[in-house]
Amino acid sequence: MNRIYLDNASTTTLSAEVLNAMMPVLTDTFGNTSSIHSFGRDAASLVDASRDTIANTINAKSNEIYFTSSGSEANSMAIIGIAMANRTHGNHIITSKIEHPSVLNACKYLEQNGYDVTYLDVDKNGFIRFADLIRYLKPTTILVSIMSANNELGTIQNLKAIAQTAHEKGAIFHTDAVQLYGNMTFDVQDIGIDAMTISSHKIYGPKGVGCLYLSNKVKIDPIIFGGNQERGKRGGTTNTAGVVGFAKACEIAYRDLRTNRHKLQELSNYFTTKLSEMVENIIINANVRQKVSHIISVTFLGVDGESLLTKLDLNGVAVSTGSACTSNSLAVSHVISAIGLNNDDAKSTIRFSLGKNNSFEELDEALNIIKKSVEELRVYSSTYGAKTRKRKGDK
Amino acid sequence: MNNTILNLFNNPTNAGRITKPSGIADNANFDNTAHVEFSIKVENNEIVDAKFRAQANPYIIAVCETIAEMAKHKTLDMLMIDDILVKTALNDDSDVDINFCIDCVKNAVSDYLEKLAKSNKQKA
């Protein structure tokens, strides 16, 4: 059975070029970057070069890149570290209801520790409302954290306008760019980003490494204590091979940006058009132009998302639900709920995320399997007929 | 999810609805994230066929498939299905509440008995 991977927003395969860049580091350059001897200096020079590479892709300075173990760590570092370091200026933070759990849970932690957090609503496509942002900004607002592109919908926020609005009130702007970095050019100076999270394994790099871009103008407290690694902002021995692989993945992402974007757009258009033709009673969520093309959220009316996911998996197609699953109940995704889908539709939602290695032939095969699986599940769905009759009645 | 559950989910033999059922009922779990329906055919006080429909996750579909299979060829007074029996058949030791599925098939029996009582009353 051929296996087709349509879950690239969860993680991507390791690129061969990246692996080639990492192998000599894994085998030969094993020194600790903090060591004074030549083994350590060799490793440190690789890490410095990697820092330069990544900084160049976003028009930042090398000393504004802090390596972490993941995007989640970088988000936690940004939210908690900035909030703590800027406590004397205020205790209010603004974020949105559709952020990654690493942002939301960091905010909850801060709430438990005396901070005040505002969670902005989003519209049906996942965009924050500027009127809300302006309304909730106050003199005590120290940080605005809004993700660049949503991991379930793909919606791209208007970062420049958010940054400008935050700055006008004296707030720092952080963005979780894990799903957008590598899919769009980034100029942190031009956009006005003060802090930005990037993850390696979303762009065909190794797992276990990410980074936080942090403007030199922004104060931050460490949340992981150790030696003087990452200029005292993040303790722990540097993952040299991971960092080198990460930088290589960044270099490739921007070297091939135009080609990959074009390919992903074509794949995405093909997939959504064919899916709409082949499977009736579906809703393509956040079907807007301002989104990353490779993330496609689809609601299959009358079909349980986890059952569809399992059936697709049994037939070789890997996707995600927009929901966290438990054995007997689907905890409805906070993102899908936030865009206003009702409980039934939310638990019928699947996320397809395409990658640069997918082919049209794979999509054709996947589409046939999706059609067959949805039809099988709808044959004995206890709600499908009633649901579609109701929809038609609504119109 | 073990292979027994996966196999039952992927190849249900009792999925669907009986045409002109003797009894039918539907039910949902506590947070309304799973909806199930059972229909039964009764002849001479025996359940000769049982089918289910569901909008639910693979586990609940496997549970319904098992319940339908257990219900078949039982006389109404011998329909003693509980969660321990079902979970044993599924080789499952989870603490997932499946009573809403079991209640559903029992409600289908109640529906049949109500219809029968009504019909008998009309005849009398």
Domain ranges of chain A: 16-255, 257-379
Mean pLDDT on A289-306: 95
Domain ranges of chain B: 3-123
Residue B85 β-bridge partners: none
pLDDT-derived band at A322, boundaries 50, 70, 90: low
User: Is residue A391 predicted with pLDDT exceeding 70?
Assistant: no
- Would you identify the CATH topology of the domain A257-379? Aspartate Aminotransferase, domain 1 (3.90.1150)
Please judge whether A327 and B56 are an interchain contact, meaning their C-beta atoms are less than 8 angstroms apart.
no
Catalytic (active-site) positions of A: 325
Mean pLDDT on A337-350: 90
User: Is residue A43 predicted with pLDDT exceeding 90?
Assistant: yes
Comparing A155-169, A292-306, A314-328, B13-27, which segment has the lowest mean pLDDT?
A: A314-328
Q: Are strands A4-5 and A317-318 parallel, antiparallel or unpaired?
A: parallel
pLDDT of residue A390: 55
User: Is residue A327 predicted with pLDDT exceeding 50?
Assistant: no
- What DSSP state is assigned to residue A157? P
- Rounded to the nearest angstrom, the gap between the alpha carbon of residue A204 and the centroid of all alpha carbons in its chain is 14
pLDDT in tens, A192-227: 999 999 999 999 999 999 999 999 999 999 999 998
Backbone angles phi, psi at A322, to 5 degrees: -80, 15
Of A306, A310, A327, the CB nearest to B94: A327
- Mutation site, A327, A337, A342, A378, interface B, largest B CB count within 10 A: A327
The H-or-E segment that residue B55 falls in is: strand B46-55
Please judge whether B35 and A380 are an interchain contact, meaning their C-beta atoms are less than 8 angstroms apart.
no
Burial (Cβ within 10 Å: 0-12, 13-18, ≥19) of residue B23:
buried
pLDDT in tens, B65-96: 999 999 999 998 888 899 999 999 999 999 99
Of A307, A332, A343, the CB nearest to B57: A307
Mean pLDDT on A234-260: 97
Tokens of A263: 């390919």
pLDDT in tens, B35-54: 999 999 999 999 999 999 99
Which CATH code fits B3-123? 3.90.1010.10
pLDDT-derived band at A136, boundaries 50, 70, 90: very high
Q: Rounded mean pLDDT of chain A?
A: 94
User: Is residue B121 predicted with pLDDT exceeding 90?
Assistant: no
| Contact criterion met (CB below 8 Å) for A115 and A81 | no
pLDDT in tens, B52-67: 999 999 999 999 999 9
Q: Rounded mean pLDDT of chain B?
A: 93
Report how far residue A272's alpha carbon sits from residue A258's, in angstroms, rounded to the nearest whole number. 21
pLDDT-derived band at A343, boundaries 50, 70, 90: confident
Chain A residues with CB under 8 Å of B32 CB are: 343
Which CATH code fits A16-255? 3.40.640.10
User: Is residue A325 predicted with pLDDT exceeding 50?
Assistant: no
Mean pLDDT on A49-59: 98
pLDDT of residue A394: 46
pLDDT of residue B122: 86
pLDDT of residue A395: 37
Report how far residue A302's alpha carbon sits from residue A290's, in angstroms, rounded to the nearest whole number. 29
From the list A74, A93, A73, the residue with the least C-alpha distance to A83 is A93
